[in-house]
Amino acid sequence: MSDLPLTRAPAHLRQGSSIGQPVTRHDGPLKVTGAARYAADHHPAGMLHAALAVSSIARGRVSFLDLPAALAHPGVVAVMTPANRPALAEDPDAKTHPFMFRMDVLQNDRVRYANQPIAVVIAESLEAATEGAALLAPRYEAEAAQADLAAAEVFTPPAVGPGHPAAMAHGDTAAGLAAAARRISVTYETPAQYHNAMEPHAIVAAWDGDRLAIDTPTQGLAMLRGRLAGLFGLPAENIRIRSPFLGGGFGSKGLASGPLVLGILAARLVGRPVKLVLRREQMFGPVGHRAPTRQTLELGTDADGALTALRHHTLTATSAFDDFIEPASNASHALYASPAIATSHAAVRLDTGTPMFMRAPGEAPGSIALESAMDEMAEVCGMDPLEFRLKNYAETEPMSGKPFSSKALRECYAQGAARFGWAGRPRAPRQMRDAAGLLVGWGMGTAIFPALMFQGEARATIRRDGSGMVEIAASDMGQGAWTALAQIAADSLGLDPARLDFRSGSSDLPDGGIAGGSAHTATAGAAIHAAGAETIARLAALATADGRSPLYGAGNAGVIARDGRLFRRDDENRSESYADILARAGLAEIAGAGSGAMEPAAQAGYAMHAHGAVFAEVKVDPALGQIRATRLVGAFAAGRIINPRLVRSQYYGGMIWGVSFALHERAVLDKRSGRVINANLADYHVPVNADIPALEAMLVEEHDPHVNALGIKGVGEIAITGSAGAVANAVWHATGYRPRHFPITPDHLLGAPG
């Protein structure tokens, strides 16, 4: 495998720190010119192509495969089935931690869901492999599939999400509801959704004895390497995974999946490199999805509109053979002040692939229900939706009672409302029309997402010519991580960004943690910051101990690193370049390592969240029920902003997903067969350019001294929360119809009043 590309900032960047500057993406030219190589772009010598044969039933066993027909097809080299699949060192159905999921890798002939891999055809060309898979003509012993959320047996899960309690409470919600002057009980339903990144799952795998080289898109290089090392019984250092470019992930590329492992097994079976790329319809099954939910919220208020109790219960689904429970009710833990809050979850088992982490897991479906319920409660109280939210503003985290590490939500409300023009909104629905006679509605929603941080490591080097290099196994799936992290790296080493090489995207580099939970910039950035500080400290020790240096004896006063030089803190007229320090010491380079993780004391003492407010305008054709989102304004506070250009891009992406959640996106499950019947991008609707309104994302200033050393909070997922609810509430304001089933489609509105 060739070396990874090194990224370097454009030479025209100003000297000094680039943190806070709207630097353009370093990888942009590579992508727009086609020079960026994604996993499926790799073609090692002797490579074969693999195609999956997948089940057309959701439950039962494979009773027949026409192996002779497939093997006789020109170009077919081998067919991998449970009968000849190479052995694994670990049981793929074993689970030893919450981030490990059972996978289907031809361990037997059982079928657990539709689109499950049942064989792999390996051939000299993709066409031959695809045709060979079709020739297998499988037959089944089918069993009745359970695919109906309403009909399956309900159970109480031991945990939700990555190990959170299934039920939590503070205060007496029964008493709070009984004492309420006004109360509502409402139920909302959200559908199953599938990740559908532009780049499907893919792998190019090559064995060299007991060493394994892989090109695959992954959000967590070190985590994936560890999982594969266990499955194949290899030392982790024998596996090299390259993943410099990802065409989107949204959570589905965070953990090892069955198709990825099958690609590696296929390469072992034939003794040649193998490429396996999922077809679009095969993305609906073995690589995760967001489960459907049915959420019931009960809210009570006193006569003045202050909440007396909030109860949030979620019924959701997991697979018949594994557990991932969408933690939707947890969206009610941290947002609105109430003396009593209770959240709970129940689940059913369906014959589907296992749900998994999908962008804003729990928060996305939970917030559209919570924000819709808050609007319904505001209407019952005769209050403006923003006024009602401010009435119930939480000064401390409601569920835990912890103080917030920082919270600028009031400023988000004020700035977003002013920019949107919220003060001109009539309270009653169906009061506004445009010149064409379309109904116009305005809605809002509050955005919130936890400020998470994982463990990460990095290495920083200053070279004899005064340039620098930072290395970290980080993932850039389109969010601009390479650019933002390089900005942090240049700042930590006191270098002009154009003098820094940034190397990333390979598992043989220091573990940068997983790109998930909106935690990547904080995690990898903190590690890079620490590595740079360690490198500068080592360089300073050389200079201040050398009597020939102008910095000699500055140990107590200290030095400052800037523009490739060290300056005495007490006398900036005395300085020396990095190159001169290393040359005099006879060193080619000097390096340091660093790690980053959230401080346990800060985590225990503070509630850490990013906040925001989203305001939406929709227009609805009163005769046809057609809905268009026409304008969204979001105001967000997320601590220190490394690159405002990239942050706005992330906010836009979240707001677009919110529009998609409210108006477009759902997987339709055939309750008889258990198959997703719209498993393609023609029928599984996601927004296109024409569906997206004018977007504006405002960056509200916020300083957080507790969340981490750099004061960074994540921005990737927060804008989904708030946005979907804002659109739904705007539909009510336009039409008088209260959406409780998502996505909202024209047939929902045909019975709206007026």
Which pair of tokens denotes residue 489?
């790296």
Pair 702, 639: CB distance under 8 Å: yes
Instruction: Output the CA torsion sign for 360, 282, 62, 274.
Output: negative
Which among 298, 471, 534, 717 is annotated as catalytic?
717
Pair 744, 731: CB distance under 8 Å: yes
In the sheet where 559-562 sits, what is the strand order? 559-562, 565-568, 571-577
DSSP for 663-695 reads HT--BPB-TTT--BTT-STTTS----GGG--EE
Pair 184, 374: CB distance under 8 Å: no
Please enumerate in sequence order all residues whose Cβ is within 8 A of that of 438, keeping only pairs 6 or more positions apart, or say none. 619, 620, 621, 622
* H or E stretch at 77: strand 76-80
Instruction: Output the CA torsion sign for 676, 677, 681, 686.
Output: negative
Cα angle 562, 563, 569 (rounded to 5 degrees) comes to 25
Q: Could you give the CA distance from residue 544 to residue 584 in angstroms, rounded to a whole number?
A: 13
Q: Could you give the CA distance from residue 378 to residue 15 in angstroms, rounded to a whole number?
A: 52
Taking the C-alpha atoms of 390, 173, 332 and 339 in order, what is their torsion angle to the nearest 10 degrees?
40
Residue 717 known to be catalytic: yes
DSSP for 376-402 reads HHHHHTT--HHHHHHHTB-SB-TTT-P
Q: Could you give the CA distance from residue 520 to residue 503 in angstroms, rounded to a whole number?
A: 16
Which pair of tokens denotes residue 447?
């955005």
Please enumerate in sequence order all residues whose Cβ is within 8 A of that of 450, keeping only pairs 6 or more positions apart, or say none. 334, 517, 608, 609, 610
Residues known to be catalytic: 717
